[in-house]
Protein backbone atom coordinates (compact mmCIF):
# COMPACT_ATOMS: atom_id res chain seq x y z
CA UNK A 1 0.00 0.00 0.00
CA UNK A 2 1.41 3.32 -1.02
CA UNK A 3 1.19 5.81 1.83
CA UNK A 4 0.04 9.30 0.99
CA UNK A 5 2.00 12.37 2.05
CA UNK A 6 0.05 15.00 3.96
CA UNK A 7 2.84 17.54 4.08
CA UNK A 8 5.20 18.09 1.16
CA UNK A 9 7.81 20.80 1.41
CA UNK A 10 10.39 21.62 -1.23
CA UNK A 11 13.01 24.33 -1.00
CA UNK A 12 10.84 26.39 1.33
CA UNK A 13 12.59 29.64 2.26
CA UNK A 14 11.78 32.68 4.34
CA UNK A 15 13.93 35.77 4.45
CA UNK A 16 13.61 38.90 6.57
CA UNK A 17 15.68 41.53 4.80
CA UNK A 18 19.23 40.12 4.65
CA UNK A 19 18.48 37.44 7.20
CA UNK A 20 17.47 33.99 6.02
CA UNK A 21 15.39 32.48 8.80
CA UNK A 22 14.45 29.34 6.90
CA UNK A 23 16.86 28.22 4.23
CA UNK A 24 15.46 25.95 1.48
CA UNK A 25 14.07 23.17 3.65
CA UNK A 26 12.73 20.01 2.01
CA UNK A 27 10.82 17.17 3.66
CA UNK A 28 7.70 15.03 3.46
CA UNK A 29 5.41 13.84 6.23
CA UNK A 30 3.25 10.73 5.78
CA UNK A 31 -0.33 10.26 6.89
CA UNK A 32 -0.54 9.06 10.47
CA UNK A 33 3.11 9.80 11.16
CA UNK A 34 4.44 11.44 14.32
CA UNK A 35 6.96 13.90 12.94
CA UNK A 36 9.35 15.71 15.26
CA UNK A 37 10.54 19.14 14.12
CA UNK A 38 13.50 19.99 16.33
CA UNK A 39 15.91 22.82 16.73
CA UNK A 40 17.31 25.21 19.30
CA UNK A 41 15.50 28.51 19.97
CA UNK A 42 16.08 30.77 17.00
CA UNK A 43 16.92 27.94 14.60
CA UNK A 44 13.90 28.82 12.46
CA UNK A 45 11.38 26.19 13.59
CA UNK A 46 8.69 28.67 14.51
CA UNK A 47 9.07 30.59 11.26
CA UNK A 48 8.86 27.36 9.27
CA UNK A 49 5.80 26.20 11.17
CA UNK A 50 4.05 29.56 10.67
CA UNK A 51 4.43 29.10 6.92
CA UNK A 52 2.99 25.59 7.10
CA UNK A 53 -0.08 26.62 9.08
CA UNK A 54 -0.76 29.43 6.65
CA UNK A 55 -0.13 32.50 8.77
CA UNK A 56 3.11 33.57 7.09
CA UNK A 57 3.88 33.79 3.38
CA UNK A 58 7.02 31.97 2.19
CA UNK A 59 9.66 33.97 0.29
CA UNK A 60 10.24 31.09 -2.13
CA UNK A 61 9.87 27.35 -2.49
CA UNK A 62 6.87 25.05 -2.63
CA UNK A 63 4.78 23.45 0.06
CA UNK A 64 1.42 21.74 0.38
CA UNK A 65 -0.31 20.93 3.64
CA UNK A 66 -3.20 18.45 3.56
CA UNK A 67 -3.09 18.84 -0.20
CA UNK A 68 -3.49 22.63 -0.11
CA UNK A 69 -1.00 25.18 -1.34
CA UNK A 70 0.58 27.37 1.35
CA UNK A 71 0.50 30.43 -0.91
CA UNK A 72 -3.05 30.37 -2.20
CA UNK A 73 -5.14 28.07 -0.08
CA UNK A 74 -4.32 29.13 3.45
CA UNK A 75 -7.99 29.22 4.46
CA UNK A 76 -8.42 25.57 3.48
CA UNK A 77 -5.25 24.69 5.37
CA UNK A 78 -6.53 26.34 8.52
CA UNK A 79 -9.72 24.29 8.32
CA UNK A 80 -7.88 21.01 8.03
CA UNK A 81 -5.33 21.44 10.83
CA UNK A 82 -5.43 21.65 14.60
CA UNK A 83 -2.96 23.61 16.68
CA UNK A 84 -1.91 23.37 20.30
CA UNK A 85 0.83 25.32 21.97
CA UNK A 86 2.09 25.16 25.50
CA UNK A 87 1.88 28.91 25.86
CA UNK A 88 -1.65 29.45 24.65
CA UNK A 89 -4.12 26.68 24.92
CA UNK A 90 -7.41 27.41 26.63
CA UNK A 91 -9.08 30.33 28.37
CA UNK A 92 -8.40 30.10 32.09
CA UNK A 93 -11.47 32.14 32.97
CA UNK A 94 -13.94 29.95 31.10
CA UNK A 95 -15.16 26.56 32.32
CA UNK A 96 -14.21 23.34 30.58
CA UNK A 97 -17.55 23.10 28.75
CA UNK A 98 -17.45 26.77 27.77
CA UNK A 99 -13.99 26.33 26.29
CA UNK A 100 -15.06 23.31 24.28
CA UNK A 101 -18.19 25.10 23.04
CA UNK A 102 -16.18 28.16 22.06
CA UNK A 103 -13.49 26.30 20.12
CA UNK A 104 -16.07 24.03 18.51
CA UNK A 105 -17.92 27.17 17.48
CA UNK A 106 -14.96 28.84 15.78
CA UNK A 107 -14.50 25.75 13.61
CA UNK A 108 -18.15 25.97 12.61
CA UNK A 109 -19.41 22.83 14.29
CA UNK A 110 -23.16 22.72 14.86
CA UNK A 111 -24.64 22.92 18.34
CA UNK A 112 -25.70 19.30 18.27
CA UNK A 113 -22.25 18.12 17.21
CA UNK A 114 -20.55 20.24 19.88
CA UNK A 115 -22.88 18.85 22.53
CA UNK A 116 -22.18 15.30 21.45
CA UNK A 117 -18.41 15.82 21.25
CA UNK A 118 -18.31 17.57 24.62
CA UNK A 119 -19.95 14.58 26.26
CA UNK A 120 -17.56 12.11 24.66
CA UNK A 121 -14.53 14.23 25.47
CA UNK A 122 -15.46 14.75 29.11
CA UNK A 123 -16.17 11.06 29.43
CA UNK A 124 -12.84 10.05 27.89
CA UNK A 125 -10.77 12.40 30.01
CA UNK A 126 -12.86 11.59 33.10
CA UNK A 127 -13.62 15.24 33.75
CA UNK A 128 -17.27 14.76 34.75
CA UNK A 129 -16.78 16.19 38.23
CA UNK A 130 -14.98 19.31 37.09
CA UNK A 131 -16.77 20.09 33.82
CA UNK A 132 -18.31 23.24 35.30
CA UNK A 133 -15.07 24.45 36.86
CA UNK A 134 -12.84 27.15 35.47
CA UNK A 135 -9.97 25.78 33.42
CA UNK A 136 -7.58 27.94 35.44
CA UNK A 137 -8.17 25.79 38.51
CA UNK A 138 -7.08 22.56 36.82
CA UNK A 139 -3.62 21.02 37.23
CA UNK A 140 -1.24 21.66 34.34
CA UNK A 141 -1.32 18.08 33.12
CA UNK A 142 -5.11 18.03 32.81
CA UNK A 143 -5.10 21.32 30.96
CA UNK A 144 -2.68 19.94 28.42
CA UNK A 145 -4.66 16.77 27.81
CA UNK A 146 -7.82 18.85 27.53
CA UNK A 147 -6.33 21.33 25.08
CA UNK A 148 -5.05 18.48 22.93
CA UNK A 149 -8.56 17.05 22.78
CA UNK A 150 -9.99 20.48 21.99
CA UNK A 151 -7.52 20.86 19.12
CA UNK A 152 -8.89 17.58 17.74
CA UNK A 153 -12.57 18.64 17.96
CA UNK A 154 -12.99 19.35 14.26
CA UNK A 155 -11.24 16.11 13.16
CA UNK A 156 -8.24 17.79 11.57
CA UNK A 157 -6.01 15.85 9.17
CA UNK A 158 -2.86 17.21 10.82
CA UNK A 159 -2.31 18.47 14.31
CA UNK A 160 0.58 20.83 15.13
CA UNK A 161 1.92 20.60 18.67
CA UNK A 162 4.30 23.25 19.98
CA UNK A 163 6.41 21.92 22.88
CA UNK A 164 3.45 19.96 24.18
CA UNK A 165 4.85 18.28 27.28
CA UNK A 166 7.52 20.58 28.70
CA UNK A 167 7.43 20.77 32.50
CA UNK A 168 4.63 18.20 32.97
CA UNK A 169 5.12 15.43 35.51
CA UNK A 170 6.45 12.17 34.04
CA UNK A 171 3.28 10.13 34.46
CA UNK A 172 0.94 12.71 32.91
CA UNK A 173 3.45 13.13 30.16
CA UNK A 174 3.22 9.46 29.28
CA UNK A 175 -0.56 9.59 29.35
CA UNK A 176 -0.24 12.47 26.93
CA UNK A 177 1.98 10.47 24.60
CA UNK A 178 -0.46 7.58 24.75
CA UNK A 179 -3.13 10.00 23.54
CA UNK A 180 -0.82 11.08 20.73
CA UNK A 181 -0.12 7.47 19.70
CA UNK A 182 -3.84 6.74 19.70
CA UNK A 183 -4.56 9.79 17.54
CA UNK A 184 -1.79 8.91 15.10
CA UNK A 185 -3.03 5.34 14.95
CA UNK A 186 -6.39 6.58 13.74
CA UNK A 187 -4.73 8.30 10.79
CA UNK A 188 -4.19 11.86 12.05
CA UNK A 189 -0.72 13.20 11.37
CA UNK A 190 1.13 14.70 14.33
CA UNK A 191 3.66 17.47 13.77
CA UNK A 192 5.60 18.24 16.95
CA UNK A 193 7.91 21.25 17.18
CA UNK A 194 10.11 21.24 20.23
CA UNK A 195 13.52 22.00 21.61
CA UNK A 196 13.18 19.34 24.30
CA UNK A 197 15.25 16.50 22.91
CA UNK A 198 13.58 13.85 25.06
CA UNK A 199 10.25 14.63 23.36
CA UNK A 200 12.00 13.74 20.13
CA UNK A 201 12.61 10.17 21.26
CA UNK A 202 8.89 9.48 20.99
CA UNK A 203 8.52 10.54 17.36
CA UNK A 204 8.50 8.23 14.34
CA UNK A 205 10.87 10.49 12.45
CA UNK A 206 12.61 13.71 13.39
CA UNK A 207 14.27 16.56 11.56
CA UNK A 208 16.80 18.75 13.28
CA UNK A 209 17.12 22.35 12.21
CA UNK A 210 20.30 24.33 12.75
CA UNK A 211 20.55 27.94 11.57
CA UNK A 212 17.60 27.71 9.19
CA UNK A 213 18.61 24.44 7.52
CA UNK A 214 17.54 20.87 8.14
CA UNK A 215 20.78 19.17 9.13
CA UNK A 216 19.42 15.72 9.93
CA UNK A 217 16.24 13.80 9.11
CA UNK A 218 15.57 10.18 10.02
CA UNK A 219 14.10 7.93 12.69
CA UNK A 220 15.50 8.53 16.18
CA UNK A 221 16.98 5.03 16.08
CA UNK A 222 18.88 5.64 12.84
CA UNK A 223 20.03 9.08 13.93
CA UNK A 224 21.46 7.68 17.13
CA UNK A 225 23.24 4.99 15.10
CA UNK A 226 24.48 7.52 12.56
CA UNK A 227 25.96 9.80 15.19
CA UNK A 228 27.06 7.00 17.54
CA UNK A 229 25.01 8.60 20.31
CA UNK A 230 23.03 7.19 23.19
CA UNK A 231 20.17 9.68 23.14
CA UNK A 232 18.69 12.35 20.93
CA UNK A 233 20.23 14.83 23.32
CA UNK A 234 23.69 13.54 22.37
CA UNK A 235 22.74 13.59 18.69
CA UNK A 236 21.86 17.25 19.05
CA UNK A 237 25.05 18.06 20.94
CA UNK A 238 27.15 16.42 18.23
CA UNK A 239 25.26 18.24 15.47
CA UNK A 240 25.43 21.62 17.14
CA UNK A 241 29.14 21.35 17.82
CA UNK A 242 29.76 20.40 14.18
Partner 1 sequence: MGITINNISKAYNEVSALQDISFNVKPGELFGLIGPDGAGKTTLFRVLTTLLFADKGTATVAGYDVVNDYKSIRNSVGYMPGRFSLYQDLTVEENLHFFATIFGTTIAENYDLIKEIYVQIEPFKKRRAGDLSGGMKQKLALSCALIHKPKVLFLDEPTTGVDPVSRKEFWEMLKRLQKKGITILVSTPYMDEAALCDRIALIQDGKILEIDTPQAIVKHYPKTIYNVSASNMYALIKSLNEYVYSHSVYPFGEFVHYTDQRDDFNPTDLKSYLEAKGLKNITINPTETTIEDTFMELAR
Rounded to whole angstroms, the Cα distance separating 10 from 187 reads 23
Cα-based angle 12, 18, 21 (whole degrees, multiple of 5): 40
Number of other residues whose CB lies within 10 A of the CB of residue 116: 12
Per CB under 8 A, the list member of 105, 110, 132, 140 interacting with partner 1 is: 140
Binding range to partner 1, per CB under 8 A, among 12-20, 76-84, 145-153, 232-240:
232-240
Rule CB under 8 A: say whether 37 interacts with partner 1: no
> Which ranges of 111-231 would DSSP assign to H, the alpha helix?
111-124, 140-151, 170-185, 197-200, 220-227
Q: How far is the CB of 27 from partner 1 (least distance, A)?
A: 20
Reported as type and span, the H/E element at residue 242 is none
Could you say which of 17, 108, 170, 228 contacts partner 1 (CB under 8 A)? Answer: 170
Q: Closest distance between partner 1 and the C-beta of residue 46, in Å?
A: 13
- Is the Cβ of residue 2 or residue 41 nearer to partner 1 in the bound state? 41
Choose, by CB under 8 A, the member of 111, 132, 182, 225 that binds partner 1.
182
Among 39-47, 51-59, 94-102, 151-159, the segment contacting partner 1 (CB under 8 A) = 39-47
Angle in degrees, 0-180, between the axes of helices 96-106 and 140-151, rounded to the nearest 10: 30
Minimum Å gap between C-beta 220 and partner 1 is 6
3-class secondary-structure state, position 4: coil
Least separation, in Å, of the C-beta of 132 and partner 1?
19
Amino acid sequence: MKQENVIEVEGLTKTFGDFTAVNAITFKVKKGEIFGFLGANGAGKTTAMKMLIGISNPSSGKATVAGFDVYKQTENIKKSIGYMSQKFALYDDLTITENITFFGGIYGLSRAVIKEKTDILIQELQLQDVAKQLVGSLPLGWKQKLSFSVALLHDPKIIFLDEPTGGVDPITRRQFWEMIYKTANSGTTIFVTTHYMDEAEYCDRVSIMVDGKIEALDTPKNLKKQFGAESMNDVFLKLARG
